[in-house]
Amino acid sequence: MNNIIASTALKARQLTDEEIHEIEHEKTHYPYAQAVGLEALKIVQKYQGWVSDESLLAVSEYLDIPPDDLEGVATFFNMIFRRPVGKNVILLCDSVACWMLGCDDLKAHITSVLGIEYGETTEDNLFTLIPVPCLGDCDRAPSMMVGRELYRNLTNEKIDQIIADYKAKA
Amino acid sequence: MASITIDGKVFEVDEKNNLLQECLSHAMDLPYFCWHPSMGSVGSCRQCAVVEYANEEDQKGRLVMACMTEPREGARYSIAAAAKFRAQAIESIMINHPHDCPVCEEGGECHLQDMTVMSGHTYRRYDGKKKTHNNQYLGPFINHEMNRCITCYRCVRYYKDYAGGTDFGPQASHDNTYFGRWQEGPLESEFSGNLVEVCPTGVFTDKPFSKHYSRKWDLQSSPSICTGCSVGCNTNPGERYGTLRRIVNRFNDEVNGYFLCDKGRFGAEYVNSPERIPVSMTRDSHNSDPVQIEPALAKDALKKAAKGAVAIGSPRASMEANYALRELVGEENFYAGISANELGMLNKIIDIYQNKPVNVASVKDIEGSDAVLILGEDLTNTAARLALGVRQSAKNLGRQMGADLNFPIWHDAAIRQLAMDKLSPLYILSPHTTRLDDIAHTSHISSAENSAKIGMAIAHAIDASAPAVEGLNKEEQALALEIAETLKSAKQALIISGTSSLEPALLDAASNIATALHSGNSKANLALVCSESNSMGLALMMQGSGKSIDEAMSAGAKTAIVLENDLYRRAASAKVDAFINSLDQLVVLDHLKNRTGEQANLVLAAATFAESSGTFVNYEGRAQHYYSTFKPDSNIRSSALWLSDKHFNEITADCAAAIANCAAILELTPGENYNFAGLKVPRQHHRYSGRTSMRANINVHEPKQEQDEDGVMVYSMEGVPAIKDAAVLNSPWVPGWNSNQSIFKFQEFAGGPLKQGSKGQRLIANNSTEKTWYEAGTSDFSAEGYKVFPVYHLFGSEELSAYTPAIQEKATSAYVSLSPEDAEKLGLKASDGVQVEHNGAVPFVVRKAIQPGTVGVSVGLKGLNFQDMSAAIALDKAAEWKNPDLWRAANIIVSDKREERVD
Amino acid sequence: MSINNPLTKNIEKGRAPFTFAEYKAAGGYQSFANAIKMAPRDVMGQVKDAGLGGRGGAGFNTGLKWSFSPDPDGLPRYLVVNADEMEPGTFKDRLLMESDPHLLIEGMITASYAIQATTGYIFLRGEYTVAEENLLKAIAEAYDNGMLGKNIQGSDFSLDIYLHTSAGRYICGEETALINALEGKRANPRFKPPFPQVSGLWGRPTLVNNVETICNIPGILTYGVDWFKGLGLGDECGTRISGVSGRVKNPGCWEMPVGTTFRTLLEDYAGGMQDGYELKAFLPGGGSTDFLMPEHLDLPMIPGEVAKAGSRLGTSLIMVLDDKTCPVGTVRNLIKFFAHESCGWCTPCRDGLPWVEHILNKMEEGKGEMKDIEILKEMCGYMGPGNTFCALAPGAAEPLQSSLKYFMDEYESHVKHGCSYKSH
Q: Domain residue spans in chain A?
A: 17-74, 88-169
Contact residues, chain B, for A7 at CB < 8 Å: 889-890, 903
Instruction: Compute CA distances B545 → B332, B538, B542, B602, whole Å.
Output: 11, 11, 5, 29
3-state secondary structure of C21: helix
Instruction: State the burial class of residue B419 (Cβ atoms within 10 Å of its Cβ: 0-12, 13-18, 19+).
Output: buried
CA distance C172 to C56: 12
DSSP β-bridge partners for residue C367: none
pLDDT number for residue A1: 35
B134 at A interface, C-beta within 8 A: no
Which of the residues A64, A68, A80 would you substitute to probe the B interface, choosing the one with the greatest number of B C-beta atoms within 10 Å? Answer: A68
The count of other CB atoms within 10 Å of the CB of residue B187 is 25
Contact residues, chain A, for C201 at CB < 8 Å: none
B422 at A interface, C-beta within 8 A: no
Q: Nearest C-alpha of chain B: how many angstroms from C142?
A: 32
Chain A's closest residue to B843, CA to CA, is A5
Number of alpha carbons in the 13 Å side-chain half-sphere of residue B314: 26
Contact residues, chain C, for B411 at CB < 8 Å: 191
DSSP β-bridge partners for residue C159: C149
3-state secondary structure of C122: strand
Q: Nearest C-alpha of chain C: how many angstroms from A70?
A: 8
CB distance B88 to B51 below 8 Å: no
The count of other CB atoms within 10 Å of the CB of residue B870 is 13
Chain A's closest residue to B169, CA to CA, is A68
Contact residues, chain A, for C164 at CB < 8 Å: 29, 39
Q: Nearest C-alpha of chain B: how many angstroms from A163?
A: 31
Contacts of B242 (CB under 8 A, 6+ apart): B630, B633
CA distance B889 to A7: 9
Inter-chain touch B46–C199, beta carbons under 8 Å: no
Inter-chain touch A72–B170, beta carbons under 8 Å: yes
B595 at A interface, C-beta within 8 A: no
3-state secondary structure of B182: coil
Chain C's closest residue to A63, CA to CA, is C184
Nearest-by-Cβ selection for B92 from C345, C348, C389:
C348
Residue A2 — pLDDT band, cuts 50, 70, 90?
A: very low
Please state whether the predicted TM-score (pTM) of the whole model is above 0.95: yes
Chain C's closest residue to B34, CA to CA, is C346
CA distance B193 to B261: 7
Contact residues, chain B, for A67 at CB < 8 Å: 182-183
pLDDT number for residue B758: 75
CB distance C178 to C23 below 8 Å: no
Nearest CA to B891 out of B812, B816, B831 is that of B812
Q: Nearest C-alpha of chain A: how many angstroms from C168?
A: 5
Q: Nearest C-alpha of chain C: how many angstroms from B444?
A: 29
Chain B's closest residue to C362, CA to CA, is B128
Q: Nearest C-alpha of chain B: how many angstroms from A53?
A: 9
CB distance B383 to B496 below 8 Å: no
**Which chains share 3+ C-beta pairs under 8 angstroms with A?**
B, C
DSSP character at residue B350:
H
Q: Is A50 left (phi over 0), alpha (psi -120 to 50) or beta?
A: beta
**Which chains share 3+ C-beta pairs under 8 angstroms with C?**
A, B
DSSP character at residue C384:
S
CB distance B374 to B497 below 8 Å: yes
B827 at A interface, C-beta within 8 A: no
3-state secondary structure of B172: coil
Chain A's closest residue to B903, CA to CA, is A7
Q: How high is the mean pLDDT of chain B?
A: 95
CA distance A59 to B68: 37
Q: What is the pLDDT of residues A7-59, one digit of tens each?
A: 456 889 999 999 999 999 999 999 999 999 999 999 999 999 999 999 999 99
Furthest CA-CA distance within chain C: 73
- SS3 of C142-181: the string is HHHCCCCECCHHHCCCCEEEEEEECCCCHHHHCHHHHHHH
Inter-chain touch A6–B830, beta carbons under 8 Å: yes
Inter-chain touch C342–B175, beta carbons under 8 Å: yes
3-state secondary structure of B21: helix
pLDDT number for residue A9: 66
Instruction: Compute CA distances C109 → C73, C102, C217, whole Å.
Output: 19, 10, 10
CA distance B834 to B813: 13
CB distance A39 to C164 below 8 Å: yes
Contact residues, chain B, for A41 at CB < 8 Å: none
**Alpha helix (H) residue ranges in C186-244:** 211-215, 217-223, 225-231
Q: What sign has the CA pseudo-torsion B13, B15, B19, B25?
A: negative
Inter-chain touch C190–B417, beta carbons under 8 Å: yes
The separation between the first and the last C-alpha atoms of chain C, rounded to the nearest angstrom, is 50
CA distance A99 to C421: 14
Nearest-by-Cβ selection for B183 from A10, A61, A72:
A10
Residue A3 — pLDDT band, cuts 50, 70, 90?
A: very low
Binning chain C into helix, strand and coil, the percentages to the nearest 5 are: 45, 15, 40
Nearest-by-Cβ selection for B405 from C199, C343, C388:
C199
Number of alpha carbons in the 13 Å side-chain half-sphere of residue A70: 30
Inter-chain touch A133–C168, beta carbons under 8 Å: yes
CB pairs under 8 A between B and C: 106
**Alpha helix (H) residue ranges in B307-395:** 319-329, 340-355, 363-367, 379-382, 384-393
Task: For strands B844-846 and B816-818, give the pairing.
Answer: parallel
Chain C's closest residue to A34, CA to CA, is C184
Inter-chain touch A75–B173, beta carbons under 8 Å: yes
3-state secondary structure of C252: strand
Which of the residues B182, B188, B896 would you substitute to probe the A interface, choosing the one with the greatest number of A C-beta atoms within 10 Å? Answer: B182
Which of the residues A30, A100, A107, A151 would you substitute to probe the C interface, choosing the one with the greatest number of C C-beta atoms within 10 Å? Answer: A100
Task: Give phi and psi for B732, each to the nearest 5.
Answer: -70, 135
Inter-chain touch C358–B128, beta carbons under 8 Å: yes
pLDDT number for residue B244: 98
Residue A4 — pLDDT band, cuts 50, 70, 90?
A: very low
Q: Which amino acid is at B620?
A: E
**Which chains share 3+ C-beta pairs under 8 angstroms with B?**
A, C
A88-169: CATH superfamily: Glutaredoxin (3.40.30.10)
Contact residues, chain B, for C176 at CB < 8 Å: none
Q: C191: part of which helix (H) or strand (E)?
A: none
Contact residues, chain A to chain C, C-beta under 8 Å = 29-32, 34-39, 41-42, 65, 72-73, 76-80, 91, 94-97, 99-102, 104-105, 132-141, 145, 148-150
Contacts of A152 (CB under 8 A, 6+ apart): A137, A140, A141, A143
Nearest-by-Cβ selection for A61 from B182, B183, B898:
B898
Contact residues, chain A, for B828 at CB < 8 Å: 4
Inter-chain touch A5–B173, beta carbons under 8 Å: no
Nearest CA to B153 out of B69, B45, B21 is that of B45
Contact residues, chain B, for C355 at CB < 8 Å: 92, 95, 126, 128
Q: What domains are there in chain B, each with its CATH number?
A: 2-92 (3.10.20.740), 131-211 (3.30.70), 212-272+670-759 (no CATH), 274-342+534-608+634-668 (3.40.50.740), 359-523 (3.40.228.10), 786-900 (2.40.40.20)
Instruction: Compute CA distances C154 → A29, B295, C146, C223, whole Å.
Output: 23, 96, 9, 23
pLDDT number for residue C423: 55
The full DSSP string for C61-83 is BHHHHHHTSPPP-SS--EEEEEE
Inter-chain touch B126–C199, beta carbons under 8 Å: no
The separation between the first and the last C-alpha atoms of chain A, rounded to the nearest angstrom, is 43
Nearest CA to B563 out of B800, B313, B376, B269 is that of B313
Q: Nearest C-alpha of chain A: how many angstroms from B896?
A: 9
The mean pLDDT values, 10 residues at a time, for chain C of 424 residues are 89 96 97 97 96 88 95 95 96 97 98 98 97 98 97 96 96 97 97 96 97 98 96 94 97 97 98 97 96 98 95 96 97 98 97 98 97 98 96 97 98 96 67
Which of the residues C337, C387, C390, C392 would you substitute to probe the B interface, choosing the one with the greatest number of B C-beta atoms within 10 Å? Answer: C387
CA distance B210 to C64: 59
Q: What is the pLDDT of residues A135-162, one digit of tens each?
A: 999 999 999 999 999 999 999 999 999 9
User: Which ranges of chain B have pLDDT less than 50?
Assistant: 903
Sheet holding B334-335, edge to edge: B291-292, B281-282, B602-605, B585-590, B559-563, B310-312, B334-335
Q: What sign has the CA pseudo-torsion A153, A157, A159, A164?
A: negative
CA distance B133 to B149: 10
B417 at A interface, C-beta within 8 A: no
The full DSSP string for B457-495 is HHHHHH-TTSPP-----HHHHHHHHHHHHHHHH-SSEEE
DSSP character at residue C26:
T
Chain A's closest residue to B899, CA to CA, is A1
Q: What domains are there in chain C, each with its CATH number?
A: 20-230 (3.40.50.11540), 247-322 (3.10.20.600), 327-417 (1.20.1440.230)
